[in-house]
Amino acid sequence: MNPIFKHGPSPQHRLMLVLFCSASLIFFDHKMNSFENIRGYLQSMVSPLQYLATTPKQVMTWAAENIVTRRQLLSDNQAYKVAELRFHQQLLALEIIKKENERLRLLLASPIRGEVKKMVAEIISVDSDPYSQQVVINRGSDDGVFEGQPVIDDEGIVGQVLHVGINSSRVILITDVTHAVPVRVSRNGVRLVASGTGQIDRLTHNFVQHSTDVRTGDLLVTSGLGDKYPEGYPVARVTKVSQNDANAFALVQSEPVAKIDRLRYLLLLWPEKAAEIFAPSQKVVTPNLRDSKKSENNTGLNNVDT
Amino acid sequence: MSIRNLLIIIFTTVIALIASIMPLPPSIDVFRPDWVLVVLVYWCLALPARVNVITAGFVGLLLDVLLGSILGVHTMAMAIAVYIIAGNFQKIRNFSVWQQSLIVGVLSALYHLIVFWMQRFLIDAVFLPSYLYPVITTIVLWPWAFLLLRKVRRHFRIT
């Protein structure tokens, strides 16, 4: 029954109430970051919806994987065998190089890099929000996922964990507007910061001096500065360098090497905390190794790792 | 209102929430209609005493959590859009379905612009015309959603 006389507050009062609540939510969430824990709970609360929403896609994938011809399977198998042979051969060489690297690092009294713990995660939902670039993965605090954890795919860095729920968590991608990765050019060690642009195929580098030695096609790898990402993983390849003297800084753009638009399986990394034990020796050694190269671009390093 | 009626309203809203986070190919994704807005506008037109600005705010908050945006952005946009419907439901009810779909289109454009303005204010987002593509699909969606939801409402005699 529709009442003739309305009960309760008028729409204006309700609107005022909701507007006030949302304004304070925005303020506390965005400016004060006071919802970090609550977001974890909210994330685990809505994860059933996310699992439900991804069901049709999983059915399609299941069908696509199960309905294949015998010929297809045979040719796939052949390809995997060839690839395995090649990787195995590379692994043999890698073992030797690893040993050699360990010996050299010992000689320099710098810490040996051990194996990093990894875990495979699957993407259960991609954001339909055009303003942020995030994905949700099927691992949460039950699997030991923590906030700020680096996430990679088979090609390079993908992003880092933003909010952790119980059995799902949210990953912010490197192309998000609010995200930046400290990188260096693998060719010569020049340090840069790769900031997201909100576009899936483009990263931008601010505050690059005109004299910086960056060329189109350079591979950018993580520099390990900022203590979020482990060192040496590929991030992007430079696509555009425009050194126009009319601007204060050079315009440098790059394209992520990870296939950000077709992610499916991701790897979560547990970087080890060796820094405490070896901190003094590391401080002495690292400047000689890398930082003797040009050290431009110190300005941008403060706002890294949002 | 009985529990059953409440459950049906919640059920349709949850379906809309799922439809708005369902993974789609990027080329179709920019045209994703505002499922949640359409469902809320329908219930607000049909039962303005039940579904109201506060309901819209709550569902908007859920959408914020699901989309991972800053909490409060969709809450605000959804509440303002539904407030306009709640204030004029008697007029809008008497329009034909096509006129209603144009009104819903304008509302959807307002909704997206509010979200964009908030994002612009908070994270300096840049406007792309593709942010308004959902308006087109929402206009097309409205008559079908309206007929379907009216059938649901009459079948279950939700008042």
pLDDT of residue A238: 94
Give CA–CA dist A77/A136, Å, rounded.
31
Query: pLDDT tier at A75 (50, 70, 90 boundaries)?
Result: very high
pLDDT of residue A280: 46
pLDDT of residue A304: 42
Count other C-beta atoms under 10 Å from residue A219's C-beta: 17
- A51 touching chain B per CB within 8 A: no
Query: pLDDT tier at A114 (50, 70, 90 boundaries)?
Result: low
Residues 117-136 of chain A with CB under 8 A from chain B are 125-132, 134, 136
Amino acid type, A94: L
Cβ of A26 and B73 within 8 Å? yes
Our count of domains for chain A comes to 1
Give CA–CA dist A252/A155, Å, rounded.
22
Lowest-confidence range among A77-81, A84-88, B19-23, B58-62?
Answer: B19-23
DSSP label at A232?
T
Residues 64-103 of chain A with CB under 8 A from chain B are none
Give CA–CA dist A41/B42, Å, rounded.
31
- A113 touching chain B per CB within 8 A: no
Tell me the chain A residues in contact with residue B47 when contact means C-beta distances shorter than 8 Å: 2
pLDDT of residue A243: 85
Query: Tens digit of pLDDT per residue, chain B (159 long)?
Result: 688 889 999 999 999 999 998 888 878 888 999 999 999 999 999 988 888 899 999 999 999 988 888 889 999 999 999 999 998 989 999 999 999 999 999 999 999 999 999 988 888 778 888 889 999 999 999 999 999 999 999 998 887
Amino acid type, B111: Y
For the whole model, what pTM was predicted?
0.76
- Domain for residue A43, yes or no? yes
Pairing of strands A234-242, A169-173: unpaired
Q: What is the mean pLDDT of chain A?
A: 82
Amino acid type, B17: L
pLDDT per residue as tens digits for the range A165-213: 888 889 999 999 889 999 999 999 899 999 998 888 899 998 898 888 9
Cβ of B65 and A125 within 8 Å? no
Tell me the chain A residues in contact with residue B19 when contact means C-beta distances shorter than 8 Å: 53
pLDDT of residue B151: 94
Distances (CA, A) of B22 to A59, A216, B28: 13, 37, 12
Residue A51 sits in which domain range? Answer: 13-60
Could you give the residue ranges of the DSSP H alpha helices within A165-289?
A: 275-286
**Residue A80: CA atoms inside 13 Å, Cβ hemisphere, count?**
6
pLDDT of residue A103: 87
- Domain for residue A111, yes or no? no
Is the Cβ–Cβ distance between A274 and A222 less than 8 Å? no
Above pLDDT 70, what percent of chain A? 85
Above pLDDT 90, what percent of chain A? 31
Residues 6+ apart with CB under 8 A from A127: A133, A134, A135, B21, B67, B68
Coil/strand/helix, residue A287? helix
Is the Cβ–Cβ distance between B61 and B13 less than 8 Å? no
- Domain for residue A216, yes or no? no
Whether residue A290 is predicted with pLDDT greater than 60 in this model: the reply is no
CA distance to partner chain A, nearest, from residue B22 (Å):
5
Whether residue A296 is predicted with pLDDT greater than 60 in this model: the reply is no
Higher local confidence (pLDDT), A113 or A108: A108
Whether residue A297 is predicted with pLDDT greater than 50 in this model: the reply is no
Give CA–CA dist A183/B122, Å, rounded.
26
- Give the range with max mean pLDDT: A59-68, A138-147, B97-106: B97-106
CA distance to partner chain A, nearest, from residue B83 (Å):
7
Cβ of B68 and A30 within 8 Å? no
pLDDT per residue as tens digits for the range A214-247: 999 999 999 888 888 888 899 999 999 988 888 8
- Of A49, A125, A177, nearest to B123 by CB-CB distance is A177
A52 to chain B: closest CA residue:
B18
Give CA–CA dist A181/A300, Å, rounded.
11
- Domain for residue A228, yes or no? no
